[in-house]
């Protein structure tokens, strides 16, 4: 392979390697820590105790400081510290505790715990369900679709009601809501439901202008002094927006390097093709000439054998024609080898492209002139076949061995 071409290919490979390393190292730098929890959901009786541990890990080889911040639940939950120091690759547990729940109204409380450092941020959603000490009716929610829900669509929920005290026919008050983790209520509905209907489907319209993100569907059942809760976490996505694992600046850099590599590869392929185009053309002509010679020799052999008198003469004819084919192919190949060597020398001598092309065109017009071949490569005549038989017989050879050799 040409040394310049090899250097160019290595250069392209190194550029690609550099881009990959840049993107990977950039992404790993942004993720300097990780939290093991993606959602905290807890259901308890009024007056219960809340105590949750969250594990955080430093992904860096150096020290980092991670800030902790509770959102919308500051009056219910608390942290012992507002931030945490982490050594290289260190893992620690954060303890999230509840205040006095005796005075807290039953219901569903939503918030989040935010972790953030100088380069990274992660929020863990929190759903806290507080029920009355004595629950008469409870419920379970199963929503669909189970994957992302899109603006302007519906969310359908199968709701099952459980009558723990076998109350039987009774009307219960059911309150529904959909909220996000920014304190916004998207849907709020209430209705009275007969307990005899212990399973039903409820559908909710998702507004067109709803923001993307995480949401909670909540159900609160009230009956006399009994209050029970049920909730489900889901995500609102967008059909048109696809989030990429790298930021916009990295995408721009990637595109620029991509264009550079594409142009370099285009140059390499053009360079290789333009150089080999002449050689490929010569070799195609060489193969065509070999096929042409085979066909011409076969035709002449057929004509001669039609004029021969005996089977013995035809056997000898076949042998002579096979020998001519082999010799002629060798002679044509010799011409081809010489031409390719000359082409290689012309390229090394840095002759102009036009002068090399003129030489190749000259060879193309000349073809492979078999008229200048020696007697051994020429097609045998009828007299040659008969003479060959006489010579063999005079020397005591038996032409029957031709059949045995052939077999």
Same domain, residue pair 136 and 123: no
- Domain annotation covers residue 263: no
d(CA 38, CA 166): 37
Q: Collapse the DSSP code of 92 into the 3-class scheme (helix H, G, I; strand E, B; otherwise coil) and give the result.
A: strand
Q: 58: domain CATH number?
A: 2.60.40.2310
d(CA 194, CA 141): 17
Same domain, residue pair 100 and 191: no
DSSP string, 42-82: EEEETT---EEEEEEEE-SSS-EEEEEEEES-TTTEEES-S
Residue range(s) defining the domain that contains residue 291: 276-402
d(CA 51, CA 67): 20
pLDDT of 172 reads 94
The model carries a pTM of 0.55
Tens-digit pLDDT string for the chain (407 aa): 555 556 666 666 666 666 665 555 544 445 789 999 999 999 989 888 889 999 999 998 999 999 999 999 988 999 989 999 999 999 999 999 988 777 789 999 999 999 999 889 999 999 999 999 999 999 999 988 766 789 989 999 999 999 999 898 889 999 999 999 988 999 999 999 988 778 899 999 999 999 989 999 999 999 999 999 999 999 998 754 444 455 555 667 777 777 777 777 776 666 665 557 788 888 888 899 889 888 888 888 888 888 888 888 888 888 888 888 888 888 888 888 998 898 888 888 877 888 888 888 888 888 887 665 555 567 778 887 778 778 777 776 565 545 544 44
d(CA 229, CA 48): 15
Q: Are 7 and 15 in contact (CB under 8 A)?
A: no
Would you state the structure tokens that stand for residue 289, as one six-digit string? Answer: 């000439």
Same domain, residue pair 281 and 393: yes
What DSSP state is assigned to residue 165? Answer: T
Would you state the structure tokens that stand for residue 244, as one six-digit string? Answer: 């990429």
Same domain, residue pair 167 and 91: no
Q: Which of 269, 268, 281, 286 is nearest to 356 (CA)?
A: 281
């Amino acid at each position: 392979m040409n040394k310049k071409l090899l250097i160019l290919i290595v250069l392209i490979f190194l550029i690609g390697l550099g881009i990959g390393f840049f993107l990977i190292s950039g992404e790993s730098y942004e993720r300097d820590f990780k939290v093991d929890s993606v959602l905290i959901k807890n259901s308890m009786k009024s007056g219960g105790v809340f105590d949750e541990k969250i594990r955080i890990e430093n992904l860096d080889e150096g020290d980092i400081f991670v800030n902790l911040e509770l959102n919308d639940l500051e009056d219910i939950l608390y942290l012992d510290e507002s931030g945490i120091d982490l050594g290289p690759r260190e893992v620690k547990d954060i303890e999230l505790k509840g205040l006095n729940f005796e005075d807290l109204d039953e219901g569903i409380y939503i918030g989040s715990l935010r972790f953030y450092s100088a380069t990274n941020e992660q929020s863990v959603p929190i759903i806290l369900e507080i029920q009355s000490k004595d629950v008469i009716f409870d419920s379970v929610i199963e929503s669909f679709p189970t994957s992302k829900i899109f603006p302007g669509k519906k969310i359908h929920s199968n709701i099952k009601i459980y009558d723990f005290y076998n109350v039987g026919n009774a009307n219960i008050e059911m309150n529904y809501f959909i909220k996000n983790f920014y304190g916004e209520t998207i849907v709020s509905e209430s209705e009275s439901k007969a307990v005899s209907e212990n399973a039903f489907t409820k559908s909710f319209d998702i507004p067109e202008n709803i923001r993307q993100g995480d949401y909670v569907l909540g159900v609160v059942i009230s009956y006399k002094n009994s209050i029970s809760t049920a909730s489900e976490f889901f995500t609102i996505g967008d059909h048109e927006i696809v989030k990429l694992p790298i930021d916009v600046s990295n995408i721009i850099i990637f595109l620029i390097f991509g264009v550079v590599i594409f142009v370099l590869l285009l140059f390499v392929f053009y360079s290789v093709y333009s150089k080999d185009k002449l050689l490929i053309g010569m070799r195609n002509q060489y193969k065509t000439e070999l096929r042409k010679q085979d066909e011409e020799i076969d035709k002449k052999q057929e004509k001669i054998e039609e004029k021969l008198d005996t089977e013995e003469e035809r056997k000898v004819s076949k042998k002579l024609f096979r020998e001519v084919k082999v010799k002629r192919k060798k002679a044509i190949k010799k011409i081809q080898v010489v031409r390719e060597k000359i082409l290689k020398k012309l390229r090394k001598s840095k002759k102009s492209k036009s002068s090399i092309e003129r030489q190749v065109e000259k060879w193309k017009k000349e073809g492979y002139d078999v008229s200048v071949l020696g007697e051994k490569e020429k097609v045998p005549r009828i007299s040659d076949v008969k003479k060959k038989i006489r010579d063999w017989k005079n020397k005591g050879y038996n032409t029957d061995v031709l059949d045995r050799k052939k077999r």
